[in-house]
Amino acid sequence: MSFPSFVRVQKRDRIGNPVFDANGRPVEGLAINPIKPHVRSYWLADPNQTLVVLPASAGANQVGAVRELNFLIDSQGHFDWTSIVGLSTGAFMLEFFDPGSQRRLQNRPINSDCIVGSAQRQFRLPEPYFFNIGDAQRQLKCYLRDLSGAENTVRLNLIGRRIYHKEAPPDVALDLEKTFGFGSRTYSYFLVPNETKSDGTVTAVTGNGTSSFTFESDASADTEVQKLMVSSTGAFTFTLRERATNRLLMPNAVHKDNGFGYAEFPFIFPDTYLLERQKQVIMDVTDLSGSSNFIYPVMAGRRLQLIP
């Protein structure tokens, strides 16, 4: 939630004492929030490369050599990351790693079509990801591999807000620090099926054939799923089923266009779906295209970081 520009505050007299009316109620006035000028929209980019050229993979739906973007957050203030935008000449796989907290933000590499939007339609993270700067700079590493079979020029930026607490007056700085603290809270996470290989590639579903994908919330945290995205080379139908209860989330198969979006227009659950730790959701798919179908489904959600 963004900071309000207006705040309602109790009026004070000239020497700073709070003012009350004849009935003893505080007398209020509307003021511009003193915190707000110290918070700015911010585009995070790799300071050493505005774009990266990925070597071509051996063919479509195969991955090429890995390249790295190093998003550096200088020490001027905290960064609250909220969305992903990018441009590329072809599809690619990407992985995020936060070395500061030793945290991976996905269980396998993600297809760019599922989580990379544009300025017009940013891909909003299900939960802002907070980088506490402290007294040093922070990093977010991103590993990219081509998936298109051709040399791939990628521009990738992360959008959010900078909180310039260090330059704020002491009372405002203190308030900002109290508000954000250590950023110990939930964080965004992307789930892809366990059947996905460690480099992000998938085995194609045969034409008119069926296959099953397993989404699993591992033992470290519960996952609250908010959005569904997919990239595929053909149409398919699917059902979602909870392994533990055998409960289906739909009575019959649903076309992918009615249940999955993509980065710009993701499908958003009417109510978030809690996938508890070590619980699984099985996605049974049936190809409709009649050809080999490479399917890259992604669930986006947030996890609760437990503080012992």
Partner 1 sequence: MADQRRLPYADPANWARARNTPGARRDFTTHDYIPGQGIPTWIKDPKTGLIVVNELKRYVKPFWLTTEDSEVITLQPGEVTDFIPMTVDGKGHFEIFDAFFKSQREEGFTVELFDPGNVGRDRPVLMNREVHVATIASGGGTISPTFNFDAQGSPGRPFRWPQSFFMNVVSGTGTLMARFRNLNTTQTNQIRFVLVGRRWYHLQAPWPIANRMEEIFEEQTRTLPYFFTTDQHVEIEGDGSLAPIMRFGDDAYVEWCKGMAVSTGAFQVRIVETSTQKRLMESPVHSDLAFGSGEFPMLNWEESLFEPNYQLTFELDDLSGDDNVVWLTLGCRKIKVDPKELELIRPGTSPGRP
Give the interface with partner 1 as residue ranges (CB under 8 A). 1-7, 9, 11-12, 14, 16, 29-37, 39-50, 72, 74, 76, 80, 82-83, 85-87, 113, 117-122, 124, 128, 155, 157, 159-161, 164, 169, 171-172, 175, 178-179, 262-264
Nearer to partner 1, 34 or 209 (CB): 34
Cβ–Cβ under 8 Å, residues 276 and 198? no
Nearer to partner 1, 9 or 56 (CB): 9
Nearer to partner 1, 79 or 190 (CB): 79
Nearer to partner 1, 74 or 276 (CB): 74
Q: How far is the CB of 84 from partner 1 (least distance, A)?
A: 10
Nearer to partner 1, 14 or 252 (CB): 14
Which one, of 300, 147, 297, lies nearest residue 230 by Cα?
Answer: 297
The dihedral sign for the CA sequence 168, 171, 174, 179: negative
Q: How far is the CB of 278 from partner 1 (least distance, A)?
A: 33
In this structure, are strands 152-163 and 78-88 parallel, antiparallel, or unpaired?
antiparallel
Q: How far is the CB of 26 from partner 1 (least distance, A)?
A: 12
Q: How far is the CB of 112 from partner 1 (least distance, A)?
A: 10
Q: How far is the CB of 282 from partner 1 (least distance, A)?
A: 29
Q: How far is the CB of 86 from partner 1 (least distance, A)?
A: 7
Nearer to partner 1, 5 or 206 (CB): 5
Q: How far is the CB of 28 from partner 1 (least distance, A)?
A: 9
Determine the distance from the C-alpha atom of residue 267 to the mean position of all C-alpha atoms in its chain, rounded to a whole number: 14
Nearer to partner 1, 93 or 154 (CB): 154
Q: How far is the CB of 98 from partner 1 (least distance, A)?
A: 18
3-state SS, one letter per residue, for the chain: CCCCCEEEEECECCCCCECECCCCCECEEEEECCCHHHEEEEEECCCCCCCEEECCCCCCCCCCCCEEEEEEECCCCEEEEEEEEEEECCCEEEEEEECCCCEECECCCEEHHHHCECCCCCEEEEEEEEECCCCCCEEEEEEEEECCCCCEEEEEEEEEEEECHHHCCHHHHHHHHHHHCCCCCEEEEEECCCCCCCCCCCCCECCCCEEEEEEECCCCCCEEEEEEEEEECCCEEEEEEECCCCCECCCCCEEHHHCCECCCCCEEEEEEEEECCCCEEEEEEEECCCCCECEEEEEEEEEECCCC
Tokens representing 124 are 């909003």
Nearer to partner 1, 72 or 288 (CB): 72
